[in-house]
């Protein structure tokens, strides 16, 4: 694991508590780098003690707006310059729509919320189509997909891992010879990157894909 900006910040954090698996930091750096210093909007679902909000603020810079969504009213205390706090359930589509109405776009959505399967799926299905056309959606702590107390279980229908498997078919729909309809997900998604306990969906409007041949010697 490399010691990038986020990893160094985390290890030297002397302020609000942050709790992360260490291997997540390389993932963050790899996928979030292009948004640093940009006029971006970052939504973190699940605030906890507020430390990660401070980390994102430091990493992305003052031009970026950080939004934290949490069901715990106590989290309102973490509001600060450049950090907006919304109190509500991640599965409440009215709350998600309120956030979308306040901001012209969301570039990054990071789901570190309840980790309950029904919440994760409801949030993803409502929010992902509304993420910016060049944005991304990251879900972490996917190990709960294997835990029954979160609604998970190995190969259990209705888990977020099973949704990911279905989306692998969806993103390749154009090659399925009509068996799989080409969905809006397929038309708007450039990649799905799966790690230990993390998945990153990156959006980019897909034009006509072409296979070409060059050379011939």
- Alpha-carbon distance values, 77 to 17, 50, 84, 87, 114 (Å): 14, 9, 10, 11, 20
pLDDT tens column, 100-140: 999 989 999 999 999 999 999 999 999 999 999 999 999 99
- The verdict on whether 31 is a catalytic residue reads no
pLDDT tens column, 168-211: 999 998 888 888 889 999 999 999 999 999 999 999 987 667 77
Q: Looking at domain 5-203, which CATH architecture does it have?
A: 3-Layer(aba) Sandwich (3.40)
Question: 115, 126, 143, 175: which is the annotated catalytic residue?
Answer: 115
pLDDT tens column, 13-44: 988 999 999 999 999 999 999 999 999 999 99
The domain locations on the chain are 5-203
Query: How high is the pLDDT of residue 2?
Result: 63
């Amino acid at each position: 694991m490399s010691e990038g900006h986020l990893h160094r910040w985390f290890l030297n954090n002397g302020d609000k508590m942050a709790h992360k698996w260490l291997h997540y930091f390389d993932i963050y750096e790899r996928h979030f780098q292009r948004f640093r210093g940009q006029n971006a909007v970052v939504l973190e679902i699940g605030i906890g003690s507020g430390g990660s909000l401070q980390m994102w603020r430091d990493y992305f810079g003052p031009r970026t707006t950080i939004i934290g969504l949490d069901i715990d009213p106590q989290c309102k205390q973490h509001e600060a310059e450049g950090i907006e706090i919304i109190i509500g359930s991640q599965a409440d589509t009215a709350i998600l729509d309120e956030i979308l109405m306040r901001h012209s776009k969301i570039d990054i959505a990071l789901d570190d919320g309840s980790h309950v399967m029904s919440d994760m799926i409801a949030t993803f299905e409502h929010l992902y189509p509304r993420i910016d056309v060049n944005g991304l959606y990251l879900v972490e702590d996917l190990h709960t997909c294997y835990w029954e107390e979160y609604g998970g279980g190995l190969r259990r229908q209705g888990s977020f891992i099973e949704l990911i498997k279905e989306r692998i078919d969806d993103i390749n729909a154009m090659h399925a010879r009509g068996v799989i309809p080409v969905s809006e997900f397929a038309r708007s998604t450039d990649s799905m990157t799966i790690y230990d306990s993390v998945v990153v969906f990156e959006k980019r409007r897909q034009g006509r894909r072409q296979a070409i041949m060059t050379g011939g010697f």
